[in-house]
Protein backbone atom coordinates (compact mmCIF):
# COMPACT_ATOMS: atom_id res chain seq x y z
CA UNK A 1 0.00 0.00 0.00
CA UNK A 2 1.74 3.14 -1.21
CA UNK A 3 -0.54 5.87 0.14
CA UNK A 4 -2.28 5.45 3.50
CA UNK A 5 -3.65 8.99 3.73
CA UNK A 6 -7.41 9.09 4.17
CA UNK A 7 -7.68 5.34 4.68
CA UNK A 8 -8.88 3.62 7.84
CA UNK A 9 -6.96 1.46 10.31
CA UNK A 10 -8.56 -0.74 12.96
CA UNK A 11 -6.36 -1.65 15.93
CA UNK A 12 -7.35 -4.02 18.72
CA UNK A 13 -5.42 -3.65 21.93
CA UNK A 14 -5.04 -0.03 20.83
CA UNK A 15 -5.00 1.64 24.23
CA UNK A 16 -1.39 0.92 25.15
CA UNK A 17 1.88 -0.70 24.15
CA UNK A 18 2.33 -1.75 20.54
CA UNK A 19 -1.29 -0.96 19.72
CA UNK A 20 -1.04 2.69 20.79
CA UNK A 21 2.32 3.04 19.02
CA UNK A 22 0.66 1.70 15.86
CA UNK A 23 -2.13 4.23 16.22
CA UNK A 24 0.37 7.10 16.41
CA UNK A 25 2.34 5.80 13.41
CA UNK A 26 -0.73 5.22 11.24
CA UNK A 27 -2.19 8.55 12.35
CA UNK A 28 1.00 10.28 11.25
CA UNK A 29 0.48 8.66 7.84
CA UNK A 30 -2.89 10.43 7.60
CA UNK A 31 -5.02 7.41 8.46
CA UNK A 32 -8.31 7.50 10.35
CA UNK A 33 -8.16 5.34 13.45
CA UNK A 34 -10.56 2.88 15.06
CA UNK A 35 -9.37 1.55 18.41
CA UNK A 36 -10.69 -1.34 20.44
CA UNK A 37 -9.51 -2.31 23.91
CA UNK A 38 -10.83 -4.01 27.04
CA UNK A 39 -9.23 -1.45 29.38
CA UNK A 40 -11.70 1.46 29.43
CA UNK A 41 -9.66 4.11 31.31
CA UNK A 42 -6.56 3.50 29.19
CA UNK A 43 -8.66 3.62 26.02
CA UNK A 44 -10.20 6.95 27.03
CA UNK A 45 -6.74 8.38 27.71
CA UNK A 46 -5.32 7.02 24.44
CA UNK A 47 -8.22 8.46 22.45
CA UNK A 48 -7.73 11.89 24.02
CA UNK A 49 -3.99 11.70 23.32
CA UNK A 50 -4.59 10.86 19.66
CA UNK A 51 -7.22 13.58 19.28
CA UNK A 52 -4.76 16.07 20.74
CA UNK A 53 -2.21 14.95 18.15
CA UNK A 54 -4.71 15.90 15.47
CA UNK A 55 -5.80 12.44 14.36
CA UNK A 56 -9.32 11.31 13.52
CA UNK A 57 -10.15 8.53 15.97
CA UNK A 58 -13.11 6.59 17.36
CA UNK A 59 -12.93 3.92 20.03
CA UNK A 60 -14.95 1.09 21.52
CA UNK A 61 -14.45 -0.86 24.72
CA UNK A 62 -14.38 -4.46 23.50
CA UNK A 63 -13.32 -7.92 24.61
CA UNK A 64 -11.83 -9.80 21.65
CA UNK A 65 -12.98 -13.06 23.22
CA UNK A 66 -16.48 -12.02 22.12
CA UNK A 67 -17.14 -12.06 18.38
CA UNK A 68 -20.15 -9.78 18.86
CA UNK A 69 -17.81 -7.13 20.30
CA UNK A 70 -15.70 -7.30 17.16
CA UNK A 71 -18.84 -7.04 15.03
CA UNK A 72 -19.71 -3.90 16.99
CA UNK A 73 -16.22 -2.51 16.34
CA UNK A 74 -16.59 -3.23 12.63
CA UNK A 75 -19.97 -1.47 12.57
CA UNK A 76 -18.45 1.56 14.32
CA UNK A 77 -15.63 1.70 11.78
CA UNK A 78 -18.06 1.49 8.88
CA UNK A 79 -20.43 4.07 10.38
CA UNK A 80 -17.74 6.69 11.02
CA UNK A 81 -15.22 6.12 8.26
CA UNK A 82 -16.60 3.69 5.66
CA UNK A 83 -14.25 1.04 4.33
CA UNK A 84 -11.52 -0.50 6.48
CA UNK A 85 -8.10 -0.76 4.84
CA UNK A 86 -5.68 -1.86 7.58
CA UNK A 87 -6.60 -4.37 10.27
CA UNK A 88 -4.27 -4.87 13.22
CA UNK A 89 -5.30 -7.93 15.22
CA UNK A 90 -3.06 -6.87 18.06
CA UNK A 91 -4.84 -7.43 21.39
CA UNK A 92 -2.94 -9.88 23.56
CA UNK A 93 -2.04 -11.00 27.05
CA UNK A 94 0.77 -12.98 28.58
CA UNK A 95 -0.19 -16.20 30.31
CA UNK A 96 0.45 -19.86 30.69
CA UNK A 97 1.86 -21.97 33.43
CA UNK A 98 3.03 -25.55 33.38
CA UNK A 99 1.44 -27.93 30.87
CA UNK A 100 1.06 -30.67 33.49
CA UNK A 101 -0.76 -28.43 35.97
CA UNK A 102 -4.51 -29.09 35.88
CA UNK A 103 -5.21 -26.10 38.12
CA UNK A 104 -4.32 -23.45 35.52
CA UNK A 105 -6.87 -24.43 32.84
CA UNK A 106 -8.82 -21.19 33.34
CA UNK A 107 -5.68 -19.15 32.64
CA UNK A 108 -4.94 -21.23 29.55
CA UNK A 109 -8.43 -20.70 28.16
CA UNK A 110 -8.36 -16.96 28.88
CA UNK A 111 -4.98 -16.57 27.17
CA UNK A 112 -5.84 -18.64 24.10
CA UNK A 113 -9.25 -17.02 23.75
CA UNK A 114 -7.61 -13.59 23.55
CA UNK A 115 -4.31 -14.30 21.80
CA UNK A 116 -5.57 -16.76 19.18
CA UNK A 117 -9.36 -16.63 19.01
CA UNK A 118 -9.24 -12.84 19.12
CA UNK A 119 -7.17 -12.89 15.94
CA UNK A 120 -9.41 -15.52 14.32
CA UNK A 121 -12.51 -13.48 15.14
CA UNK A 122 -10.89 -10.31 13.82
CA UNK A 123 -10.16 -11.97 10.48
CA UNK A 124 -13.62 -13.53 10.27
CA UNK A 125 -15.42 -10.26 11.03
CA UNK A 126 -13.41 -7.74 9.01
CA UNK A 127 -12.04 -9.65 6.00
CA UNK A 128 -15.23 -10.20 3.97
CA UNK A 129 -15.92 -6.47 3.56
CA UNK A 130 -12.22 -5.69 3.03
CA UNK A 131 -12.11 -8.17 0.15
CA UNK A 132 -15.45 -7.05 -1.25
CA UNK A 133 -14.70 -3.33 -1.51
CA UNK A 134 -11.59 -4.11 -3.56
CA UNK A 135 -9.40 -1.21 -2.43
CA UNK A 136 -5.81 -1.96 -1.29
CA UNK A 137 -5.87 -3.53 2.19
CA UNK A 138 -3.52 -5.12 4.67
CA UNK A 139 -3.95 -7.37 7.71
CA UNK A 140 -1.31 -7.43 10.46
CA UNK A 141 -1.62 -10.25 12.99
CA UNK A 142 0.45 -9.82 16.14
CA UNK A 143 2.25 -13.05 17.01
CA UNK A 144 5.62 -13.14 18.80
CA UNK A 145 8.95 -14.86 18.73
CA UNK A 146 7.02 -17.25 20.99
CA UNK A 147 5.41 -18.30 17.70
CA UNK A 148 8.78 -19.76 16.69
CA UNK A 149 10.48 -20.71 19.96
CA UNK A 150 8.57 -22.11 22.95
CA UNK A 151 9.91 -21.19 26.41
CA UNK A 152 8.83 -23.24 29.44
CA UNK A 153 5.94 -22.15 31.70
CA UNK A 154 4.41 -20.14 28.81
CA UNK A 155 2.45 -22.93 27.17
CA UNK A 156 -0.82 -21.11 26.53
CA UNK A 157 1.00 -18.07 25.13
CA UNK A 158 3.25 -20.24 22.96
CA UNK A 159 0.34 -22.27 21.61
CA UNK A 160 -1.53 -19.08 20.76
CA UNK A 161 1.38 -17.43 19.00
CA UNK A 162 2.32 -20.53 16.99
CA UNK A 163 -1.35 -20.56 16.00
CA UNK A 164 -1.27 -16.94 14.88
CA UNK A 165 1.78 -17.63 12.73
CA UNK A 166 0.04 -20.63 11.14
CA UNK A 167 -3.19 -18.67 10.64
CA UNK A 168 -1.30 -15.83 8.98
CA UNK A 169 0.65 -18.11 6.63
CA UNK A 170 -2.62 -19.80 5.69
CA UNK A 171 -4.33 -16.47 5.13
CA UNK A 172 -1.64 -14.98 2.91
CA UNK A 173 -1.70 -18.07 0.69
CA UNK A 174 -5.50 -17.90 0.46
CA UNK A 175 -5.35 -14.22 -0.47
CA UNK A 176 -2.81 -15.04 -3.19
CA UNK A 177 -4.84 -18.01 -4.41
CA UNK A 178 -7.97 -15.89 -4.75
CA UNK A 179 -6.02 -12.92 -6.16
CA UNK A 180 -7.52 -10.52 -3.63
CA UNK A 181 -6.61 -6.95 -2.75
CA UNK A 182 -5.46 -7.94 0.76
CA UNK A 183 -1.85 -8.19 1.87
CA UNK A 184 -0.90 -9.98 5.08
CA UNK A 185 1.86 -9.60 7.65
CA UNK A 186 2.64 -11.45 10.86
CA UNK A 187 4.39 -9.46 13.56
CA UNK A 188 6.92 -11.53 15.54
CA UNK A 189 8.71 -9.28 18.02
CA UNK A 190 10.94 -10.51 20.79
CA UNK A 191 10.88 -8.46 23.99
CA UNK A 192 9.20 -5.05 23.76
CA UNK A 193 8.82 -2.61 26.64
CA UNK A 194 5.04 -2.87 27.19
CA UNK A 195 2.70 -3.91 29.98
CA UNK A 196 2.23 -7.47 28.73
CA UNK A 197 4.11 -9.00 31.67
CA UNK A 198 1.41 -7.48 33.89
CA UNK A 199 -1.54 -8.77 31.87
CA UNK A 200 -3.22 -10.11 35.01
CA UNK A 201 -4.46 -6.55 35.63
CA UNK A 202 -7.13 -7.27 33.00
CA UNK A 203 -7.93 -10.84 34.05
CA UNK A 204 -11.63 -11.24 34.90
CA UNK A 205 -12.36 -11.99 38.53
CA UNK A 206 -13.98 -15.33 37.72
CA UNK A 207 -10.80 -16.48 35.96
CA UNK A 208 -8.45 -15.20 38.67
CA UNK A 209 -10.53 -16.91 41.36
CA UNK A 210 -9.85 -20.31 39.78
CA UNK A 211 -6.07 -20.00 39.78
CA UNK A 212 -3.68 -21.38 42.40
CA UNK A 213 -0.66 -19.50 43.67
CA UNK A 214 2.30 -19.66 41.30
CA UNK A 215 4.87 -22.36 41.93
CA UNK A 216 8.49 -21.44 42.66
CA UNK A 217 9.52 -22.35 39.10
CA UNK A 218 6.68 -20.26 37.64
CA UNK A 219 7.69 -17.30 39.79
CA UNK A 220 11.27 -17.66 38.56
CA UNK A 221 10.27 -17.67 34.91
CA UNK A 222 7.89 -14.74 35.51
CA UNK A 223 10.72 -12.71 37.04
CA UNK A 224 12.96 -13.43 34.05
CA UNK A 225 10.24 -12.44 31.59
CA UNK A 226 9.40 -9.22 33.45
CA UNK A 227 13.05 -8.20 33.43
CA UNK A 228 13.39 -8.98 29.71
CA UNK A 229 10.20 -7.08 28.88
CA UNK A 230 11.31 -4.08 30.93
CA UNK A 231 14.58 -4.05 29.00
CA UNK A 232 12.91 -4.57 25.63
CA UNK A 233 12.89 -2.26 22.64
CA UNK A 234 10.50 0.67 22.43
CA UNK A 235 7.05 -0.05 21.00
CA UNK A 236 7.51 2.77 18.48
CA UNK A 237 10.35 0.82 16.84
CA UNK A 238 7.94 -2.07 16.33
CA UNK A 239 5.26 0.23 14.96
CA UNK A 240 7.71 1.73 12.47
CA UNK A 241 8.55 -1.78 11.22
CA UNK A 242 4.83 -2.54 10.81
CA UNK A 243 4.17 0.57 8.74
CA UNK A 244 7.19 -0.26 6.57
CA UNK A 245 5.84 -3.80 6.04
CA UNK A 246 2.45 -2.43 4.97
CA UNK A 247 4.10 -0.05 2.49
CA UNK A 248 6.29 -2.82 1.07
CA UNK A 249 3.89 -5.80 1.35
CA UNK A 250 6.28 -7.75 3.56
CA UNK A 251 4.87 -10.81 5.34
CA UNK A 252 7.41 -11.47 8.10
CA UNK A 253 8.00 -8.62 10.55
CA UNK A 254 11.02 -9.47 12.70
CA UNK A 255 12.00 -6.61 14.97
CA UNK A 256 15.17 -7.84 16.70
CA UNK A 257 18.55 -8.54 15.12
CA UNK A 258 18.98 -11.92 16.81
CA UNK A 259 15.59 -13.39 15.88
CA UNK A 260 16.35 -14.43 12.32
CA UNK A 261 19.39 -16.33 13.59
CA UNK A 262 17.29 -18.03 16.27
CA UNK A 263 14.73 -19.16 13.70
CA UNK A 264 17.45 -20.56 11.44
CA UNK A 265 19.09 -22.35 14.36
CA UNK A 266 15.76 -23.92 15.32
CA UNK A 267 15.11 -25.05 11.73
CA UNK A 268 18.60 -26.58 11.54
CA UNK A 269 18.03 -28.35 14.86
CA UNK A 270 14.76 -29.83 13.59
CA UNK A 271 16.36 -30.94 10.34
CA UNK A 272 19.18 -32.56 12.31
CA UNK A 273 16.72 -34.42 14.52
CA UNK A 274 18.00 -32.78 17.70
CA UNK A 275 15.83 -32.64 20.81
CA UNK A 276 14.73 -29.23 22.13
CA UNK A 277 16.73 -27.98 25.10
CA UNK A 278 16.69 -25.13 27.60
CA UNK A 279 20.09 -23.83 26.50
CA UNK A 280 19.10 -20.80 24.43
CA UNK A 281 15.46 -20.30 25.38
CA UNK A 282 15.84 -16.70 26.57
CA UNK A 283 18.90 -15.71 24.54
pLDDT (tens digit, 9 = 90+) per residue, 148-172? Answer: 999 888 999 999 999 999 999 999 9
**Measured CA distances, 214 to 31, 217, 225 (Å):** 43, 8, 14
Q: Is residue 282 part of a domain?
A: no
**Which position has the higher pLDDT, 103 or 177?**
177
pLDDT tens for each residue of 199-209: 566 667 777 67
| 121 within a domain of the structure (yes/no) | yes
pLDDT at residue 241 is higher than 90: yes
Q: Which residues contact 1 (CB under 8 A, 6 or more apart)?
A: 7, 85, 86, 136, 137, 138, 183, 246, 247, 249
Distance of CA 277 to the CA centre of its chain: 27
Q: What is the pLDDT of residue 227?
A: 62
Please give the residue that has the higher pLDDT: either 242 or 198: 242
Active site residues: 157
Under 8 Å between Cβ of 77 and 10: yes
Cβ(24)–Cβ(47) under 8 Å?
no
Rounded Cα distance between 99 and 93, Å, is 18
Q: Tell me the backbone φ, ψ of residue 45, rounded to 5 degrees.
A: -65, -45
Is residue 186 within 8 Å of residue 160, measured between CB atoms? no
Alpha-carbon 63 to chain mean position: 14
What pLDDT is stored for residue 18 in this prediction? 96
Name the more confident of 258 and 246: 246
What's 35's domain CATH number? 3.40.50.720
| Residue-level pLDDT at 167 | 98
Is residue 196 over pLDDT 90?
no
Overall average pLDDT of the 121-142 stretch: 98
How many Å separate Cα 69 from the centre of its chain?
A: 17
Is residue 173 domain-resident?
Answer: yes
Task: Write out the residue range of the structural domain in which residue 238 sits.
Answer: 8-271
Is 1 within the bounds of a domain? Answer: no
Residue 276 forms part of a structural domain: no
Asked if residue 2 is part of any domain, the answer here is no
Task: Give the pLDDT of residue 279.
Answer: 74
Q: What is the chain's mean pLDDT, rounded?
A: 91
Structurally, how many domains does the chain consist of?
1
Q: How far apart are CA 54 and CA 194, in angstroms?
A: 24
Q: What is the pLDDT of residue 282?
A: 47
Could you read off the pLDDT of 62-90 as tens digits, one per residue? 999 999 999 999 999 999 999 999 999 99
Q: Percent of the chain having pLDDT more than 90?
A: 75
> Residue 250: is its pLDDT beyond 60?
yes
Highest mean pLDDT among 183-192, 207-216, 240-249: 240-249
pLDDT tier for residue 98 given thresholds of 50, 70 and 90: confident
Is 277 domain-assigned?
Answer: no
Each residue of 36-55: pLDDT tens digit?
999 999 999 999 999 999 99
Rounded average pLDDT over 178-198? 87
- Residue 141's pLDDT is what? 98
Amino acid sequence: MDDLKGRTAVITGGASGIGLALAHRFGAQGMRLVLGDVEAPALKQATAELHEAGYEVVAEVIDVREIDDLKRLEATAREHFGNVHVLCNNAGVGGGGAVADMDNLASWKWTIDIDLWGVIYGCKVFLPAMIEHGEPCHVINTASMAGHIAPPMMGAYNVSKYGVVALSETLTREMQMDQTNVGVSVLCPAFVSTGIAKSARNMPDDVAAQLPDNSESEEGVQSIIEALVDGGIDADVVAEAVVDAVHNDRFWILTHEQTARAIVERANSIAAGENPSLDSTFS
